[in-house]
Structures are given as structure tokens and as C-alpha cells.
């Protein structure tokens, strides 16, 4: 880039293409520079200064003091000179703002503000002539030039405001905040040219955000509240005078409130960020707490309170907007009076759930696996103590012989058959071929003998011998093979390829053998048999056991003890539930890997010890503010409950005075009603002492907040356990919610009636309801 060091009129600003400025609202003021030593920073600054001197073609352009070439240019009133100075200042402050410090360039701040005011005066003059509605359409070259110069001047201030050495001149200027208020008022115009000031407003709001922490606000008709240091040094000083209606300390708050309802996203963000920065000043607490939330006829409020707008915009999926809104809600709920009113909102539970859903926005989920064998010593000891020492040897599937393998009808038919036809038919009915199974030969023979031996008569065919029965199995099932098995290290004589047929109609093989039992059907399990005997025969038991031929007699004389004794004895007659067959597989190894999910919230830097930040962090801070108020609400309700129908004393119950947080003096006023009253010079009785009312809050009205937080206790506790960074913030809240739960349980418990008098109905029994 070449510089033309000659006359200002020959500046390359008039020959180059129009400069592309940053999109309004996208570029936020950079953080204050730091991190280098003074000597290294000074040498680097000198090198950069030399580079820009070569670019501009001389040393006069960056020379500090009141005779700086660029400062004199923008204050000269000559159009070419003004454009010359603005062009170079915009370039330098955009790239190297440290080279231009307001404390070293005397007159630069006033020169920039003068250019902004020239544009505002031109707009007012056009409005008086009836031209503002047509200026945006027809266009006037002189006005567009003034607008461009005002935008460049505001951009220069925006670039310099983040520098720490430039903030003192900004704070000392009596014109800056007043000019910002005038620009904001001009931007509220509903004419066609109302949006002309958008870019200028955004730049100046960025400037205001950098110094807002040191700017106090005032209520209409009241002085600026005294800080702690001012109160200590008050002495015999006269009381401060009320702020005038046109004072920037009074005008600024309602103008920023109007920006929070703007349809321009950049203005919306700038409005919330500036309000948040202004709330950092403790002298402005009265403005943020005492101005009303709801309008009252006949002067309705044109804009709702910004907290209402913040709640409406919180569900929007916009990270930057959510962060600005949550920062404002956090600052707003730091005031106890505001938090109490926040707790009275009907949609409180939904707002809390929405805040909790913001905890892990842009957070990272880490799955942690902990090996107990190599992790801590206790885990290794546990694994060695309970680990697998050997593998269980596989065991063969046992075959349980049953009372009957055929139905009574089938048995009646089989009894009449001759051998070996009876044995073959019985085998084909009770068994089936299965190449993977086997039946012990002794089980086959025992089942055959148990089936037919009780029915042996001289007129019926005799039973076969054991060897004949084993041989008959091959005739009934040609693929089976009698053999010797050595599984498990033991010799077992089995019939390979045979198994007992599964017949569900014969599974009920448990019968009640209690003498005199009229039950004919069988039972499905030992438990069913046991339950039948307990209910049918031991309701009024005799001392003697009547199971079969048992001779046991209970020694208990008491009926209940006798019943229990016989119930224990009955277990000796009823077999236990069969143990399921073991499949012979190895035992499962004891788990030694623990899986855990850990959430890492968004941080300021890559270092592990950097602080949390972002949406989740401010959502957690807001929940922490509300948790503190909930604990105070439960304590206040407990004190009121303990005081009885006569009421609580002053020490037990917090006095009211800001119960609705919207009451200015004795009557409810909206923001704009307060200004209208101040404009008319109206004064309300009892308006003195409004600042003292900030310390008097009816905390018991926030009791619904405690109920809502107790209902969300599980979700907050899970966040404390899983998120290390947010857990440090919400740990206090988790303890307070638990204390609220205990206190609410005590309130809901019925109070003991006093002796000698009738118990009066608890007046709070209908009000105190604890959520699940």
C-alpha cells in the first residue's frame, strides 16, 4: 500500500474503492491486551509505530500530544481534512489499536463525538423541515457524508475502548454517555430513515459496554445511590441532589430496555450485554430492582421488562444470544428482590427445566474405563480376592425319573399288551430319539419297573429282565446305542441317542399326601404343594402331622406357634425345586472394568485448570442464585409457621417493602410511567427511603421455587456427580435443595395437638405441598 504524504485533498481515500466495514454487531470489542513485559511491549510498539510512519510517509501522524496531525484534521472542519484523518485512524485502530491511546491523543475523543453530533443535528434539522421520511429514498449527498463520518468516528472509538489506557478518558468525558443516549433516542424513530443509525448505535453500545461497570444509574426524581465508600466518607456533606430528567443516568436504562425488543439481532445482543455490564455497578441496584415489570393503565408500558424478553428468547437455538441472555438473567437474580419475583412466575418449572437443559451445551462427553486390576490398590485387591481361581468341570445332564411317563389312559392300554410289544410301545410313547442326548441304562430300567410293577397280576404278562429292556431300546429306536461313557472321569452305562419325551400334559406330578385331602388334581411345583397344605390343612392344625404315615407331633401348645412349627416340618416331606441342569460351560469372569461418563464443560482455555465459561456455566450460576433464595423461602415459611396465627416477629419474618419488585415509592409504576411522572414534576408521598426497601424482601413468596427445585433434585444431583466444573458451582445448590426438602417435609407433617385443647386446623396445610 502506497501513501501520498502531500496535501490532504490528495489522499488516496478519495481514489480507492469504498472501505468494507465489519458487519454491524458481529465484531465484539477485543479483550484488553496483556501478557508481555513492559520493556518487550514498548519495543514492539516502537517497531509497529515505525512501520506505520513509513506507510503514512511521516512521523507527524502518530506524534502524541494536542498537535497530532490526524486529530487536527478531524477537528478542522474542512471536509477533505476530516476524511483524510478518519481514513487513517480507522486503518490504524482496526489493526493496531495500541498505537492510538486516547490519553495520549488529546482532543481525539471530542473530535469523534463532534462528528456524531453533527449527524444527529442534521437529522433533527431535516425532521423540522419534514424531510426525514424522504431522505432515505431520495438521498442527500451532504447527509450521507455526515452519516459516513459519524459511523467512522464511532468505529474508531469502538476499536479504542477495549484498551485499558483508553478507558479513563472515556469515563472522564461528560459528553460520551449523553451522546450515546441521543443516538439511541434517534434510533427509536419510526420513520423510513429510522434504521440509518443502526451501525452507529452498535459501535457506541460496544463502547458503552466496556465502561458500563463504572457508570451508575438513577431512578427518576432520585439521586444516584451512595456506594459503600461514599457512605463511609459522607460526614457532614449535604444530601445529593436528585438527577435531572435529561440526565444520562436516568435516560440510559429505558433506552436499553427498548433495544431488548428490537427485531435486529445485533441491537438485541448489544442491549442485553450493556444491561448486564451496567448491573455490575452496585449503585444501580435500585434501578434494576424497583422499576416495575407490568404496565398499569392508563399509561401502559410500551416495552416489557427485559427479564420477560430474556425468558421468551431463552429457547431460541442461538449460542451467542443464549449466552448474552443467561448473563443478564444471572445478574438480575443476584438481587434477592428480583429473584423472589422470578420465583412467582407461573411458568417457573418450565424455565428451570430449560435452564438445566443448557448445562451441557457445547460440553464434551468422555467415556472413562477404569481397570480394577491395574487401577487403585483397593480395586486390585478386590479383583484378586474374588477373581476366578479355576474353571468348573462340566457335568452331565442328570435325568430325573418321574412317577409316570404316560397318561392314565395310555397306561391302562399298555397293561393289557403282551411282551415285548408292551415294552416297545411304552418306549415309543415315553421316549424319543435325540443324537445329542443320552439316558442312563439304570434310569430306563427303573422307569420301566416303576411303571408296570405296581400293576403286575397273575393274569397279566410278566415283566422283562433288565437286559431284555436294554436290548428292546434298539428295536424301538434303531439309531440308539447302548455304550459305556467316561465323561467326568467316571464310567457310566448309558443309551446314546435317546431322551425322555417332553410332555407338558404330564408335568404336574406333585400330589398332596395329607390324610383326608379331597384334592384329586396334581400340583405344578413344590411351592404350589406347600402353599396348598398351608392354606387348606394348617389353618387350624392338629398337633400331629398327617402327611402320609408321618408320626411327628408338634410340642407347641399355642396355635400360632404350632402352625409355624408344622410349616417348618412340612418342608421335610415336600422335595425342593429341581436345580436346572448345568450346561457345562465355564463360569463368567468377575467384571473388572468400570465404565463411567464424565462431562467436561466449556472452558476459557485449553488448560485443565482453566475456569468454566459459556452457556452451561451461567445457567448453573443462575440455578445457584435461585437455590439460595429457595433456602431463604423455606426458612421464612418455617418461621411464619412456627409463629402461629398471631404472625411472626420482625426478626423471624422478613418485612415487605419490595414484595412486587415493581413498586416505585408507594405505588406501582412501570419504567415509562416513572419517567412520565418525573416529566410532570409529580412527587408521591412516601417516596423517601426507596433504597432501604431493597433490603426488605418477602422471601416466603418464593416458596414455589423451593418446591420446583426439589422436584428437579435428581437432575441437579446427576450434574454434580458427572460434571466436574459445574459440580463445583452446583454443589452448594444440591445441599440447599436437600435442606429445602427436609424443611418442606417438616412443614407438611401434621403438628401435634396441644394437650387439653382441641387441635386447630393448620392455616398452611393447604398452601404447603411438596412435589415428588
Does any domain span residue 95?
yes
State the number of CA atoms in the 13 A half-sphere of 231 facing the CB: 7
Mean pLDDT score, 726-755: 84
Regarding whether 205 and 60 lie in a shared domain, the answer is yes
The reply to whether 490 and 515 lie within a common domain is no
Q: What is the pLDDT of residue 3?
A: 41
**Do 495 and 350 share a structural domain?**
no
Whether the CB-CB separation of 209 and 273 falls below 8 Å is answered with yes
Q: How high is the pLDDT of residue 398?
A: 44
Tens of pLDDT, residues 300-321 = 355 677 888 899 999 998 999 9
With a CB cutoff of 8 Å and minimum separation 6, the contacts of 33 are 98, 163, 164
In a domain, residue 27? The reply is: yes
pLDDT value at residue 607: 64
- Work out the burial of residue 588: count CB atoms within 10 Å of its CB; fewer than 13 is exposed, 13-18 middle, 19 or more buried: exposed
Residues 415-451 have pLDDT tens digits of 888 888 888 888 888 888 888 888 888 888 888 888 8
* Overall number of domains in the chain: 4
Identify the pLDDT of residue 266. Answer: 93
* Residue 760: predicted pLDDT: 42
What pLDDT score was predicted for residue 179?
94
- Verify that 151 and 201 share a domain, yes or no: yes
- Tell me, yes or no, whether 295 lies in a domain: yes
pLDDT of residue 744 exceeding 60, the answer is: yes
Write down the pLDDT at residue 446. 85
Distance (Å, rounded) from C-alpha 226 to C-alpha 229?
Answer: 8
- Quick one: which of 308, 293, 283, 300 has its CA closest to 219? 283
Task: Give buried/exposed letters for 20-34 (b at 16+ CB in 10 A, else e).
Answer: eeeebbebebeeeee
Lowest average pLDDT, out of 185-194, 413-422, 731-740, goes to 185-194
Q: pLDDT for 59-86, tens place per residue? A: 667 778 778 888 898 999 899 999 988 9
User: Is pLDDT at 194 greater than 80 in this prediction?
Assistant: no
Q: What is the mean pLDDT of the segment spanning 451-470?
A: 81
- Assigned domain for 92 exists: yes
Clarify whether residues 555 and 444 are in a common domain. Answer: no
Residue with cell 433434585: 713
Q: Looking at the structure, tell me whether residues 528 and 627 fall in a common domain.
A: no
What percent of the chain has pLDDT above 70? 69
488 and 516 part of one domain: no
pLDDT given for residue 303 in this prediction: 63
For the cut 50, the answer to whether the pLDDT of residue 297 exceeds it is no
- pTM, rounded to two decimals: 0.62
Of 506, 534, 568, the residue at which a domain comes to its end is: 506
User: Is residue 678 located within the same domain as residue 708?
Assistant: yes
Give percent of the chain above pLDDT 90.
22
Q: Report d(CA 103, CA 228) in Å as an integer.
A: 29
> Could you list the residue range(s) of the whole structural domain that residue 548 is in?
509-576
Question: What pLDDT score does 460 carry?
Answer: 75
Confidence grade of residue 539 (pLDDT, cut at 50, 70, 90): confident
Same domain for 338 and 297: yes
Residue 656 in domain? yes
Q: Looking at the domain assignment, is residue 582 inside a domain? A: no
Cα distance between residue 638 and residue 652, in whole Å: 9
- Where does the pLDDT of residue 274 fall: very low under 50, low under 70, confident under 90, or very high at 90 and above? very high
Asked whether the predicted pLDDT for residue 683 surpasses 60, the reply is no
Amino acid at each position: 500500500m502506497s501513501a501520498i504524504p502531500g496535501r490532504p485533498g490528495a489522499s488516496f481515500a478519495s481514489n480507492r474503492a469504498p472501505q468494507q466495514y465489519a458487519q454491524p454487531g458481529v465484531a465484539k470489542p477485543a479483550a484488553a491486551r496483556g501478557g508481555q513485559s513492559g520493556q518487550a511491549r514498548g519495543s514492539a510498539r516502537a517497531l509497529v509505530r515505525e512501520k506505520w510512519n513509513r506507510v503514512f510517509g511521516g512521523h507527524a501522524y502518530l506524534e502524541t500530544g494536542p498537535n497530532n496531525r490526524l486529530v487536527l484534521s478531524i477537528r478542522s472542519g474542512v471536509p477533505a481534512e476530516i476524511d483524510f484523518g478518519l481514513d487513517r485512524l480507522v486503518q490504524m485502530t482496526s489493526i493496531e489499536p495500541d498505537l492510538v491511546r486516547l490519553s495520549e491523543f488529546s482532543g481525539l475523543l471530542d473530535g469523534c463525538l463532534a462528528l456524531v453530533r453533527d449527524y444527529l443535528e442534521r437529522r433533527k434539522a431535516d425532521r423540522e423541515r419534514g424531510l426525514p421520511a424522504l431522505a432515505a429514498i431520495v438521498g442527500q449527498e451532504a447527509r450521507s457524508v455526515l452519516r459516513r463520518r459519524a459511523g467512522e468516528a464511532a468505529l474508531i472509538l469502538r476499536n479504542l475502548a477495549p484498551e485499558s489506557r483508553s478507558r479513563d478518558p472515556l469515563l472522564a468525558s461528560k459528553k460520551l454517555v449523553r451522546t450515546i443516549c441521543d443516538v439511541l433516542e434517534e434510533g427509536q424513530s419510526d420513520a423510513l430513515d429510522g434504521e440509518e443509525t443502526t451501525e452507529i448505535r452498535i459501535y457506541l453500545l460496544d463502547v458503552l459496554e466496556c465502561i458500563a461497570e463504572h457508570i451508575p444509574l438513577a431512578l427518576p426524581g432520585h439521586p444516584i445511590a451512595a456506594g459503600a465508600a461514599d457512605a463511609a466518607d459522607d460526614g457532614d456533606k449535604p444530601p445529593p441532589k436528585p438527577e435531572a430528567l435529561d440526565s444520562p443516568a436516568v435516560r440510559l436504562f429505558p433506552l436499553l430496555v427498548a433495544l431488548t425488543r428490537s427485531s435486529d439481532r445485533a441491537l438485541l445482543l448489544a442491549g442485553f450485554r450493556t444491561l448486564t455490564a451496567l448491573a455490575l455497578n452496585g449503585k444501580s441496584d435500585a434501578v434494576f430492582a424497583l422499576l416495575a415489570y407490568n404496565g398499569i393503565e392508563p399509561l401502559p408500558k410500551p416495552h416489557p421488562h427485559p427479564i420477560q424478553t430474556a425468558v421468551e428468547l431463552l429457547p431460541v437455538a442461538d449460542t451467542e444470544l443464549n449466552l448474552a441472555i443467561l448473563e443478564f438473567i444471572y445478574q438480575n437474580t443476584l438481587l434477592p428482590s428480583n429473584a423472589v419475583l422470578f420465583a412467582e412466575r407461573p411458568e417457573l418449572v418450565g424455565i428451570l427445566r430449560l435452564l438445566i437443559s443448557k448445562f451441557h451445551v457445547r460440553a464434551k462427553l468422555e467415556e472413562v474405563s477404569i481397570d480394577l486390576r491395574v487401577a487403585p490398590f483397593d480395586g486390585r485387591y478386590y479383583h484378586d480376592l474374588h477373581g476366578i481361581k479355576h474353571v468348573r468341570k462340566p457335568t452331565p445332564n442328570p435325568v430325573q425319573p418321574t412317577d409316570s411317563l404316560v397318561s392314565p389312559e395310555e397306561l391302562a392300554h399298555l397293561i393289557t399288551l403282551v411282551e415285548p410289544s408292551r415294552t416297545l410301545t411304552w418306549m415309543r410313547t415315553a421316549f424319543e430319539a435325540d443324537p445329542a442326548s443320552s439316558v442312563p441304562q439304570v434310569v430306563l430300567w427303573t422307569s420301566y419297573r416303576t411303571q408296570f410293577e405296581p400293576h403286575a397280576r397273575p393274569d397279566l404278562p410278566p415283566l422283562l429282565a433288565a437286559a431284555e429292556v436294554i436290548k428292546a431300546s434298539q428295536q424301538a429306536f434303531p439309531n440308539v446305542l447302548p455304550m459305556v461313557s467316561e465323561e467326568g472321569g467316571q464310567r457310566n452305562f448309558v443309551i446314546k441317542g435317546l431322551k425322555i419325551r417332553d410332555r407338558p400334559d404330564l408335568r404336574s406330578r406333585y400330589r398332596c399326601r395329607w390324610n383326608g385331602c379331597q384334592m384329586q388334581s396334581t400340583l405344578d411345583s413344590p411351592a404350589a404343594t406347600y402353599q396348598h397344605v398351608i392354606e387348606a390343612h394348617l389353618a387350624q392344625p392338629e398337633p400331629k402331622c398327617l402327611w402320609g404315615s408321618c408320626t411327628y407331633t408338634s410340642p407347641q401348645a399355642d396355635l400360632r406357634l404350632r402352625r409355624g412349627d408344622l410349616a417348618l416340618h412340612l418342608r421335610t416331606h415336600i422335595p425342593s425345586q429341581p436345580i436346572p441342569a448345568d450346561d457345562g460351560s465355564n463360569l463368567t469372569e468377575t467384571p473388572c472394568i468400570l465404565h463411567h461418563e464424565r462431562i467436561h464443560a466449556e472452558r476459557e482455555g485449553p488448560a485443565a485448570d482453566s475456569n468454566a465459561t459459556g452457556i452451561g456455566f451461567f445457567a448453573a450460576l443462575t440455578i445457584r442464585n435461585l437455590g439460595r433464595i429457595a433456602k431463604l423461602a423455606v426458612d421464612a415459611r418455617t418461621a411464619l409457621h412456627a409463629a402461629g396465627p398471631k404472625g411472626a416477629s420482625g426478626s423471624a419474618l422478613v418485612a415487605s417493602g419490595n414484595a412486587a419488585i415493581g413498586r416505585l415509592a408507594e405505588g406501582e409504576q412501570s419504567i415509562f410511567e416513572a419517567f412520565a411522572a418525573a416529566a410532570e414534576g409529580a412527587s408521591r408521598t412516601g417516596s423517601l427511603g426507596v433504597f432501604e426497601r431493597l433490603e426488605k424482601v418477602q422471601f416466603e413468596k418464593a416458596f414455589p421455587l423451593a418446591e420446583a427445585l426439589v422436584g428437579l433434585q435428581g437432575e441437579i444431583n446427576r450434574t454434580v456427580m458427572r460434571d466436574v466444573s459445574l459440580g463445583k458451582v452446583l454443589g452448594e445448590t444440591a445441599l440447599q435443595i436437600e435442606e429445602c426438602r427436609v424443611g418442606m417435609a417438616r412443614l407438611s407433617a401434621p403438628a401435634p395437638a396441644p394437650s387439653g385443647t382441641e387441635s386447630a386446623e393448620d392455616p398452611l396445610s393447604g398452601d404447603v405441598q411438596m412435589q415428588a
